[in-house]
Chain A
Amino acid sequence: MSTTAIQPVPFGRRLKRFMADRPLIPLIILLVILVVVLQILRPGIVNERWLANTIKFAIPLAILAGCQTMTMLTGGIDLSVGTVATMSAFIMATQVVNHDPAVAILIALVPAVLIGLVNGIGVGVFRVHPLIMTLGTSLIGTGCLQVYQRTVIASGAKIPPFLAWLGTGLTYGVPNALLLFVPIAVLIVLTLNRTGFGRLLYAVGDNEGAARLSGVRYWQVITALYVISSVLAGITGLLYIGLIKAPSLSLAEPLVLPSVAAAVIGGTSIFGGRGGYTGTIIGALILTVLTTLLTILQMPEGARRILFGLIVLFVTAAYLRIIEDR
């Protein structure tokens, strides 16, 4: 907006069009506002340590929200990411007692691939609604994990030191988790914008019939998508246990709905065909800062959740108003 050429278009309309073409800008503005409010409420809180902590906690959410972004682009959703992350974390932590960490990680990712495959075939071939399909595999996965827990109860669990380093460590004040996250984020963004597969995700979500007429085989795209989503969720689980350091049967479950919210706030349409990952990353940051903000307000848990839900609703509605240029 540096050039202020005089046009017969009213300023509001021009601003809207500007925002619609650059949907990230209102999100960044919102994030900055939240940080400023936090600093006003608790002067001095925004420092290097806070920043590192926020990023550390935002990263697992952002990767899971990446799974939601990609599935939502096709008009789907992946509610099994929480279970898959929990499973891979729990299996890795128990297997690492008897195996080399690399082997333990590979074993831990097997159920992730399997669940992704089942999701993909269910949605892509048998046309089960993604919500139902992933909810179903999520419940089955949780059940299997409970059975598995009985068999390993004696062996105990531990967390490999390098995962703890990756999850919590800082190097010159920069969270080590970025070492994992930056490549993943770049990969997702490039996949969505610069690969055939990414194009197909958008195309299938926008108009499945048109994609079919162009020669796209729906089941291939969907199966690959849900496997990728599940593997990403499995990796998130490994990172998350390095951060939380306490394996449990509901480790990553609380991240599932926020991951959907982060993608929606980031401008990805749940109806498919529209959105991108950079918005989602900012969405995840917004949600993390918002959580901190509500925590320091020292409200009762119930009130905090109510406020959280209201803010998410309001932000999403307002954001869609701004970027949708009709």
Chain B
Amino acid sequence: MSGRTEGGAVERQQERFWNESNAILTTNPLLDATGVVKTYGAVVALRNASLSVLPGEVHALMGANGAGKSTLVKILTGAIRADAGHILIRGEARDVRSPADARRAGLLPVYQEPSLIPDLDVASNLCLTDTPVEAFRAWVRELGIPDLDIRDIARDIPLAVLRVLDLARALAVEPDVLLLDEMTAALPANLAERVLEVVRRQGDSGRSVIFISHRFVEISALCDRATVLRDGETVGVVDIEPGVEERIVEMMLGARIEKTQRTAHQASQAASPRDSRPRLGVANLRVGTKLNDVSFDLANGEVAGVVALEGQGQDELFAALAGSIRPSGGTIEVDGQPVKFAHPADAIRAGIAYVPGDRTEALTMQRSVRENIALPFSAALRNWGPISMAQERSRVVSAIERLQIDTRAQREVQRLSGGNQQKVTIARWIAAEAQTILCFDPTRGIDVGTKQEIYKLLRELADQGKSVLFYTSELEEVQRVCDRVIVIFGGRVVDVFPVELADEPALMRAAYGLPRGVKVDVGILADIHSSPVAKP
């Protein structure tokens, strides 16, 4: 907080003066991380991250997808090691080498995924971490679960309860700094409320909480300050006060705010005569607890973007449309006909192809480019017989040419570059002439040139009358590719933008569940502050 120059009694006096005059400065931060750097090969995950948490504070850690939140959390909790940077805990430099180190230093995380070992009962799980059982029981009751039997096997306990048990287990050892990652996701409202209340009290009792959440409502109700990360860098620390959402969104977007480039989409709108009947109609689709109620149409010749923060149900949406998982409710219609997909083969027969975000999920890495592109041809039982090599060759070659895949290393796909591998996953469905392509973040981790080619390709496909559903984690891609944007938050469609209105700040606000257009002001926050979980 204060520049510690060499010696200087005057400066120290000055410092003391400041500290006494300003209440918040009298206390040194409990946790103070500065200049944290982490790179994976050429990819910089954290450039210069810092985080300073005061005693008794609930501190929000915010940032868009890929800003480096998870990396910073992993470093603080000893799961991975930083390349550079200092971590001070209670003013003491600590080298956190393992989760056990972090725990000894008083820093305890509760992650999104439940951490109890599924095959053991709760009591044995508590033993593993040396958790005092009585304190644990007290916290479990406190958190709104009166009737827990600690001899229950963790596997049989519902997910929401498991998350609460994780929290209780952490609280029972009375950590100085509690780190909560999306704690209220997947919790029913009553449990979520109790959790927020307990977190609030944690702050009041002089302990600190680092609170990661995508929900502004919770953050404004709960947190004292927020640290905002962007591109692996801490870009600001703000006090949470009414109206601060706008500033936080601006910080998360940074210089990108005015930079919008438009490409070919205007042309396509004129070119594609819209069918009155949508190619794909989704109504009230639900999948498990993640996807709650999604409805939208996808027209012929349209690229519809999907924008969502991580884990808002978009994975489940794509998997359900691709036939990989079965929806728990709602309907899917293709060309007006209701369909039910029990296997990806059913979706493919209906002309729907899925390009997953992770290339390794889609490719047979030891096989050739040709075999990878031709794979869907052989899938159906009636195509198990002899392959017409000449016909296959011409189809494959035209797809390779269209996507300009570098075929110098075509004997094994694993020898290709990431961008070329990604092209193969798309080329497969162009060769198979799929009518609808579901692209899940197709440009993740590939070079700029290939990205441009993929944007162009998706536009061309739409101009030929095909439909594309395009999830992207990079907001600027929306302007380059999409005709329309569907924003999903908490498993629901919260907004649909025509591309003209889909600038990055608008998308970011919508992705965080903030209403469109109107400047967020005291209005909604006032309601929140008067709710039971509000600051006392």
Query: A residues near B, CB below 8 A?
Result: 21, 190, 194-197, 199-200, 202-203, 206-207, 209-217, 220, 224, 273-274
Contacts and interface: CB of A to CB of B under 8 A. Distances in A.
Nearest to A221: B384
B376 A199 contact: no
A274 B412 CA distance: 11
A214 B384 CA distance: 14
Contacts of B411: 21
B427 to A, nearest CB: 13
Interface string B448-488: 00000000000000000000000000000000000000000
A211 B361 CA distance: 9
Given A194-B387, A199-B375, A214 B344 contact: yes
Nearest to B363: A210
Given A199-B371, A214-B344, A217-B345, A206 B378 contact: no
Nearest to B364: A206
B255 interface: no
Interface residues of B, number: 34
B381, B411, B428: most-surrounded residue (chain A CB, <10 A): B381
Contacts of B371: 199, 202-203
10 contacts: A194-B389, A196-B377, A197-B378, A200-B384, A207-B361, A210-B362, A215-B344, A215-B376, A217-B343, A273-B364
A209 B348 CA distance: 15
A195 B348 CA distance: 21
B389 A213 contact: no
Contact of A213 (B362, B365, B366, B374): B362
B344, B349, B356, B377: most-surrounded residue (chain A CB, <10 A): B344
B379 interface: yes
B380 interface: yes
Contact of B375 (A21, A214, A274): A214
Contact of B376 (A209, A214, A274): A214
B380 A215 contact: yes
Given A194-B389, A206-B364, A215-B345, A199 B378 contact: yes
A273 B364 CA distance: 8
Given A197-B384, A209-B361, A202 B367 contact: yes
Contacts of A195: 384-387
Given A210-B363, A274-B366, A199 B387 contact: yes
B383 interface: yes
Contacts of A202: 364, 367, 371
A210 B361 contact: yes
B467 to A, nearest CB: 19
Closest 10 CB pairs of A and B: A196-B378, A206-B364, A215-B379, A215-B345, A197-B384, A215-B348, A196-B384, A214-B375, A216-B379, A214-B376
B322 interface: yes
B354 interface: yes
Nearest to B348: A215
A190, A196, A215: most-surrounded residue (chain B CB, <10 A): A215
A111 to B, nearest CB: 25
